[in-house]
Amino acid sequence: MANLINGKEIAAQVKAEVAKDAEKLAEKFGATPGLAVVIVGDDPASKIYVRNKKKACEEVGFYSEEIALPEKTSQKELLNLIDTLNKRVDIDGILVQLPLPKHLNEKTIIGAISPKKDVDAFSPFNVGRVMIGEYRFSPCTPAGVMELIKSTGVEIAGKNCVVIGRSNIVGKPMAMMLLHESGTVTVCHSKTQNLQEITSKADILVSAVGKANFVTADMVKEGAVVIDVGMNHDEEGNLCGDVKFDEVEPKAGYITPVPGGVGPMTIAMLMKNTLTAAMINASVVNRAAKVNKKSNAGTENKK
């Protein structure tokens, strides 16, 4: 029987640390981390995600601002809003909730967010930094997965790691982060042949394919760490992951549940990224204030 990886508990620990550091930031600079979340349209799932992010901000002592825009918002209007948020000193992180309505270009919108405020780490600049392993903001879901794996005590270095899924949000950055920890990484996708043969050799298996109960026991190595990123509904409408939990759990060494596994970690890592952005911003503003003060003092002395 596998050890259950409790994402709720680990996420609570991360948020507690973020809250303490936010207090220190306030004491040192008088600054409160600020996150702006933009939602376009009335997608029910997006509304839930935005509400959860707002709640997390309250838990860690952040300022949060939700900007709800109508479905028919034009690309120009959204870009103008992002430009305004980019310039606001009180906003450290900007998040545009995906998916966007079809008439809006997601790549253009995400690319318009300042890399310094891109706390989702979706912009081309930050994606590039993840690729070379020199990043300030960790992609939230993959970063959460890394925390879950590390909580098991299983060392990633030298392990055979398999990621199912190649999305820009999870699959690709997940592979890079495992590689940066010296894992031997294989990325599987819809065109992969002999999938079961590959996944059954994985010491660490991360599934982000988005198909209910896709991963079965014959696809899992005895004692493997199994991380289920999926958030799906089965034929009966019940919430489930990519992994057929009841079948895989007796065979795995460690496994995440759905819900209560990766989901809470994603939001916890968003809080961590926002804190990082706030610390950088506060430091820059503080240095600028000191320079201005010194400059003004010099001007006064010359009079």
Residue positions annotated with a catalytic role:
53, 97, 120
Nearest Cα residue to 173 out of 102, 62, 269: 269
Tokens representing residue 152 in the block? 């098991």
Find the helix or strand (DSSP H, E) in which 82 lies: helix 75-87
CB atoms within 10 A of CB 288: 10
CB contact set of 140 (below 8 Å; sequence gap of 6+)? 119, 120, 121, 266, 267, 269, 270, 273
Backbone angles phi, psi at 226, to 5 degrees: -115, 115
Number of H helices, E strands in the chain: 10, 11
Is the bond into 99 cis (omega within 30 degrees of 0)?
yes
Residues 44, 49, 50, CA angle at the centre, nearest 5°?
95
Q: Give the span between the Cα atoms of 14 and 11, in whole angstroms.
A: 5
d(CA 49, CA 63) in angstroms, rounded, equals: 17
